[in-house]
Amino acid sequence: MQKLGLDPTVVRRARELAARAGQPVVDLARSHTTVSVERAVLRLAGVRGADSDGIPWVNRLVDAVVADVGLSHGVAVPVFDALRREGLDDVTVLAQKAAAGAVRFGVPEKKGELTAARRAAGRAATAGLKVVDRRRVERERLIKRYGDAPRRPWIYLIVATGDIFEDIPQAQAAARAGADVIAVIRSTGQSLLDYVPEGATREGFAGTYATQENFRLMRAALDETSRELGRYVRLTNYASGLCMPEMAVLAGLERLDMMLNDSMYGILFRDINPIRTFVDQRFSRQVHARAGIIINTGEDNYLTTADAVEAAHTVTVSQLLNEFFAHEAGLADWQLGLGHAFEINPELPESFRLELAHALLARELFPDAPLKWMPPTKHMTGDVFRGNLLDGFFNLVGALTGQGILLVGMMTEAVVTPWLSDRDIALQNVRYVLNGAGNLHEDFVPAPGGFIQSRAHEVLGEAVELLERIVDDTLLEAIADGTFGIMKRPADRGKGLDGVAKHAEDYFNPVTEVLA
């Protein structure tokens, strides 16, 4: 049921503008590659493990290729050409040799060698994608076998102990307590590492590292719990930071179910170079599309730095852009966990109705996307009694507006990363609201022309205006100007720009060949 009476022509116009604003960035992404995209390719093609310093062999291999021929041709051809020349069949062994300085890389001049290298790379990459495909089938099978989450919204809980072996029992406990989705938070520093750490880890600040092994361990533990509970429990991590494409690959290989993956988060909140981010982002989304992974975007973050009322329309604009980029990369609507949040200052008159207006706008603009509804954080304080109350009203908005994924708020938000008891209290809160008022949306009918409808129309109007400006000025300019989250990020600054290259004429990527 449409409750806001949005004008379909305005909605259509908003989408058109988003496409026009996004297209230049897509063009950029299609014509560039990055070290992480190339490493992701090699991971799919079978490179595994790390050297004794913990630097992954994919990093060593890509570095070696870049040193010899640069990045612009892609690494697949030089690598598979060398593999043939060296008479090896294991790319990891090649990486080890290359790291020792024992291999030279180049793009073969002979047509036959080129074709052979491309074909070999294609076979290897396809083998990797097959694993991803198997994982996807496996997920579907397990959901069928164990059963799916019992209702919408899915209940999404975080664990963040900083030690995978503490995280595991906490995640299992959270699942038993009712979580449908577990997100394992990673260490504060990881997004700026230009490699993915290896192995099980017990360190980190406010979370431990995202590694393939940690993914595997956690997924196995949750499979066990899913079996026990008779309900498939989803696992989430982050495809963001400098290794976004590799994270997407690892998630696909280890059957993660959802990934935080935003088109602009890294730019805005990690000061990663915009071009780097957009290129990495497109590749990671192609992989997510293939893996059947649901992405979660990060519009909620803007409201922690910008004002949630003033900047409400920037959330809408960003959702439209994220949608455009996602569709372009092959993601279906059911995979779009577009983000938004309950971050209006609770002291503001009508704050709750404003939240309803914003949440409903997102719901009606993206009727087929499983919106990710984020709890209050910015206006949470050390007053934990008040905190639990705000979380309750956040949950109510979630229920009234049919959000798809409910990130459960913690009363200790302003104090600590969640304690065991915080999660328990928070889940009790969610259960009370969903159980007691879960169907109240039937009786929630924004008065025609009233406060809620007007506010939603106003925000949509502002979004259209902003999109018009972005189309005129370019998205990169808008980002440089602080349009999103008041963070100013010029396109020629930020981390990781040196890992970007424009495609050479002969650029070849066996993965995008398949995924495109």
Where on the chain is the footprint of another protein (CB under 8 A)? 160-163, 166, 169-170, 172-173, 176-177, 187-189, 192, 205-206, 269-271, 304-305, 381-385, 412, 414-421, 424-425
Q: Which x/- pattern, by CB under 6 A, does the window 168-197 give for ligand PLP?
A: ------------------x---xx------
Integer Cα distance of 233 and 225 in angstroms:
8
Q: Is 265 a catalytic residue?
A: yes
Q: Minimum CB separation from ligand B12 for residue 422, in Å?
A: 9
How many residues interact with a second copy (rule CB under 8 A)?
A: 39
Q: Which tokens belong to 39?
A: 């490493």
3-class DSSP state of 79: helix
Catalytic residue among 257, 262, 280, 300: 300
Among residues 3, 372, 378, 495, which one is catalytic?
372
Helix (H) or strand (E) run with residue 18 in it: helix 8-30
The CB-of-472 to another protein minimum distance in angstroms stands at 26
| Sign, CA torsion 300/306/310/314 | negative
Cα(112)–Cα(25) distance, rounded to whole angstroms? 35
Q: How far is the CB of 345 from a second copy (least distance, A)?
A: 10
Active site residue 146: no
Out of a second copy, another protein, ligand PLP, none, which partner does residue 444 contact, by CB within 5 to 8 A per kind? a second copy
Q: Where are the alpha helices (DSSP H) in 88-110?
A: 91-99
Binding-site member from 80, 156, 195, 269 for ligand B12 (CB under 6 A): 269
One-letter amino acid for residue 137 of the chain = V
Cis before 153? omega within 30:
yes
Pull the structure tokens for residue 321. 């852009």
Nearer to ligand B12, 271 or 513 (CB): 271
Give the one entry of a second copy, ligand B12, another protein, none that residue 162 binds, where binding means its C-beta sits below a cut-off of 5 to 8 angstroms depending on kind.
another protein
Establish whether 81 is a catalytic residue. Answer: no
Q: Which of 2, 31, 115, 188 binds ligand B12 (CB under 6 A)?
A: 188
Neighbour-count burial of 193, counting CB atoms closer than 10 A to its CB (0-12 exposed, 13-18 middle, 19+ buried):
middle
Contact positions with a second copy (CB under 8 A) in 406-445: 411, 425, 428-429, 432-433, 435-437, 439-440, 442-445
- Report the residue number, 118 or 186, with the smaller CB distance to ligand PLP: 186
Which option in ligand B12, a second copy, another protein, none does residue 146 bind, with CB closer than 5 to 8 A by kind? none
DSSP string, 158-190: EE--S-HHHHHHHHHHHHHTT-SEEEE---TTG
Find the distance separating the first CA and the last CA of the chain, reported in whole Å: 36
The pair of three-digit structure tokens given for residue 474, joined into one six-digit string:
């370019």
Please, are residues 3 and 364 in contact by the beta-carbon 8 Å criterion? yes
Answer whether 209's CB lies under 8 Å from 202's CB: no
Rounded-to-10 torsion of CA 12, 18, 20, 21: 160
Q: CB-based contacts of 221: which residues, under 8 Å, 6+ apart?
A: 168, 171, 172
Helix (H) or strand (E) holding 126: helix 111-146
Residue 451 binds a second copy (CB under 8 A): yes
The closest alpha carbon to 282, from 322, 336, 319, belongs to: 322
Measured from the CB atom, the residue of 238 and 508 that comes closer to ligand PLP is 238
Work out how close the CB of 156 gets to ligand PLP at its nearest, in angstroms, rounded to a whole number: 12
| Residue the block writes with tokens 């279906």 | 332
Identity of residue 229: L
Size of the site for ligand PLP (CB under 6 A): 13
Annotated catalytic residue: which of 156, 209, 265, 507?
Answer: 265
Q: How far is the CB of 457 from a second copy (least distance, A)?
A: 15
> What residue 260 binds from ligand B12, a second copy, ligand PLP, none (CB within 5 to 8 A, per partner kind)?
ligand PLP
Beta carbon of residue 346, minimum distance to ligand B12 (angstroms, whole number): 12
- Radius of gyration for the chain, computed over Cα atoms and rounded to the nearest angstrom: 23
Residues that bind a second copy (CB under 8 A): 346-353, 356, 383-386, 388-390, 392-393, 396, 411, 425, 428-429, 432-433, 435-437, 439-440, 442-447, 450-452
Residues that bind ligand B12 (CB under 6 A): 185, 188, 206, 269, 301, 304-305, 377-378, 380, 413-414, 416-417
Residues that bind ligand PLP (CB under 6 A): 186, 190-191, 238, 240-241, 260, 262, 265, 270, 297-298, 301
Positions annotated as catalytic residues are: 265, 300, 372
